[in-house]
Amino acid sequence: MTTPPGGEPVGDVPVVSNDDVVRVRQIVRSAADSAGFSLVDQTKIVTAAGELARNTLVHGGGGTAVIERSVNDRRKAGLRIVFTDRGPGIPDVEQALTDGWSTGNGLGLGLSGARRLVDEFTLESAVGEGTTVTVVKWIR
Amino acid sequence: MSGESGGTAETHMSDLLRSRRDAVLGRWVELVTEGTRGRITEREVRTELTELYDLVERALGDDDGTTGGELRAALGDISRNRARQGFSPTETATSVYALKRAVHEQLKESGDERGHAGFIEFSAYIDELGLATFEAYAAAREQVISDQAEQLLELSTPVVKLWDGILALPLVGTLDSARTQVVMETMLQTLADTGSRYAVIDITGVPAVDTEVAQHLLKTVMAARLMGAECVISGIRPQIAYTIAALGIEFGDIVTKASLADALEHALRGSGLRVVGGTDA
Amino acid sequence: MRQIPILKIGELLLVSIQIDLQDQTVVALQEDLAEEIVRTGARGVIIDISAVDIVDSFIGRMFSTIAAMSRLMDAETVVVGMRPAVAITLVELGLSLDGVRTALDLEQGMRLLESSLGER
């Protein structure tokens, strides 16, 4: 079930430095808090946002994070965050999504982990053009 | 009302409601006051119905249905108020239907042929509104039920202290995904708050477990471990053991015991304690 | 000036993380700790994360790295005070923090270290 875009904007953050990764986390935390997410769900969405922001910076060469409030067709409220970069893109999306960086080798994109923390996860990528990752988490 | 079925019939009805306002509204108030049998004063009824009357009149004359929203909101309010005052949803709906009767009487009296033709549609429209009051009532009751369910949830998932540093979570009844998650989060928080190193999750009173619930249990045990505490699961019935194995869920090195007593013994031992028989002094 | 202070308590080093961790801070902490372990000859490291509300893959790996690094220098590491929400999220992330010992609070962490140091 995909949600229509066009929610209420919360923030549009350039992600070009380590400070920005922290900023994204802080903005998402405050948005999640005021939206009414439970503590555990807040922790999950903020952690996912941090992971994806770092990916955008480290693997995508920098980009942007757009955060907005969203309401789905069942009147549930939530947060949508879109990470975009114009980096090298991901050649094998399937592999990236199953890649286990939890083996601790430091490689891998942490995408599979972030995906488990959110309710909706879409990834679009083209080699040489960039990557867009959209995540949505609803209030339970 | 849909625009296709002749705007003229609706606007005719709207005109009629306007031109015969005193007569129709008056009759409506009369009928409803009778029906409520003294539980609401005529003045209150008149105030309520006047607002509704105006909205219905506007809604019928409306092309784009904007008044419809206002009308439903007003109906919702009246419905909830009546429910609070102890009226059944039928009584509230009947009050709405009384408008039909009032209008019909007017039409008969005045021999309004055109009005008669449009009456069927009008009648159907009022029927819809009556049902809307029912829905508002049902929604309000649902909210009450859901609130109570939440309270029940809190009552039925106690985390108890078995001993210093040993908690127990006796689960009873069918577990669903949502409930299990809440319970597990509460337990983990209690572990942190009390600094307890052991938690015994007893599922003797749980008749069945599905994949989702088993996964939640598993994740909770892993989370407790990450925090620095250990979970012991006790009271796994044969059926549940079979289900978990059949589902292929790996419980790995999670300690499981047949009974709460065995689990307590395990936890005591792990805490460096022993139960010793004493002599009566 | 260190972002995260490292305190010496007897043979142990105590690190209490109170701030929002930035990647560079994480790297700096690892280096500072390595230095301190050598300088003080500490046998144990306690990392207190009771004030930390987000632990992601980078920070998680930091714990594993610190634990491995300390062991090479004959010191044991314990991470204490992990919040339930953090633990739940780490499990979902799939981060197992291998090689990292944990305890519910400072007191239990110190007891853990003392008993394992006593065994050596």
Distance (Å) of CA A14 to CA A64, B140, B188: 4, 45, 37
Mean pLDDT of C57-64: 91
d(C-alpha B16, C-alpha B104), whole Å: 11
Q: Is residue C63 part of a domain?
A: yes
Q: Is residue C102 part of a domain?
A: yes
Q: Is residue C1 part of a domain?
A: no
Contact B226 C107 (CB under 8 A): no
pLDDT of residue B156: 65
Mind listing the pLDDT tens digit for each residue in B138-156?
Answer: 887 888 887 787 777 666 6
Residues contacting B70, CB < 8 A, separation 6+ = B55
Q: Is B256 strand, coil or helix?
A: strand
Higher pLDDT, B89 or B231: B231
> What one-character-per-residue DSSP string does A35-62 give?
HT--HHHHHHHHHHHHHHHHHHHHTTSS
The residues in C 37-56 lying below 8 A from A, measured between CB atoms, are: 53-56
Partner residue opposite C94 with nearest CB, options A39, A50, A102: A102
Contact B226 C83 (CB under 8 A): no
How far does the CA of residue A107 sit from the closest CA of chain C (Å)? 11
Check pLDDT > 80 for residue B2.
no
DSSP lists the bridge partners of residue A68 as A9, A80
* Position C1 confidence tier, pLDDT thresholds 50, 70, 90: low
| Mean pLDDT per 10-residue interval, chain A, length 140 residues | 62 91 94 93 96 91 94 85 92 74 47 91 92 94
d(C-alpha A108, C-alpha A116), whole Å: 16
A108: closest chain C residue by CA: C57
pLDDT of residue B277: 87
Dihedral of alpha carbons B37, B42, B47, B53, sign? positive
Q: Is residue C120 part of a domain?
A: no
Name the domain count of chain C: 1
Q: Is residue C76 part of a domain?
A: yes
C-chain residues near B223 (CB < 8 A):
84, 87-88, 90-91
Contact A101 C57 (CB under 8 A): yes
- How is residue B123 written in tokens? 């009648």
Mean pLDDT of B90-114: 83
Contact C98 A25 (CB under 8 A): no
Chain C contact for B229 (CB, 8 A cutoff): yes
Q: What are phi and psi of B150, to 5 degrees?
A: -60, -45
A10 CB neighbour count, 10 Å cutoff: 20
pLDDT of residue A103: 37
Among residues B188, B80, B96, which one has the least CA distance to residue B142?
Answer: B80
Mind listing the pLDDT tens digit for each residue in C31-48?
Answer: 999 999 999 999 999 999
Mean pLDDT of B129-139: 84
Check pLDDT > 60 for residue B43.
yes
Mean pLDDT of B204-215: 85
Dihedral of alpha carbons B245, B251, B252, B256, sign? negative
Check pLDDT > 90 for residue B236.
no
Check pLDDT > 90 for residue C116.
no
- How is residue B48 written in tokens? 């309520």
Give burial (CB, 10 Å; 0-12/13-18/19+) of B21.
Answer: middle
Q: Where are the beta strands (DSSP E) in B4-159?
A: none
Say which residue the tokens 């009778």 belong to. B34
Higher pLDDT, B19 or B10: B19
pLDDT of residue A99: 59
A-chain residues near C49 (CB < 8 A):
none
B276 CB neighbour count, 10 Å cutoff: 5
- Interface A–C counts its CB contacts (< 8 A) at 68
C-chain residues near A39 (CB < 8 A):
85
Tell me the CATH number at C102: 3.30.750.24
pLDDT of residue A2: 47
Contact C92 B219 (CB under 8 A): yes
Mean pLDDT of B162-168: 94
Q: Is residue C104 part of a domain?
A: yes
Among residues B222, C54, C81, which one has the least CA distance to residue A40?
Answer: C54
Dihedral of alpha carbons A34, A118, A104, C102, sign? positive
Chain C contact for B95 (CB, 8 A cutoff): no
Q: Is residue C25 part of a domain?
A: yes
DSSP conformational letter for C73: T
Q: Is residue C109 part of a domain?
A: yes
Domain hosting C14: range is 6-114
Mean pLDDT of chain C: 92
Contact A43 C86 (CB under 8 A): yes
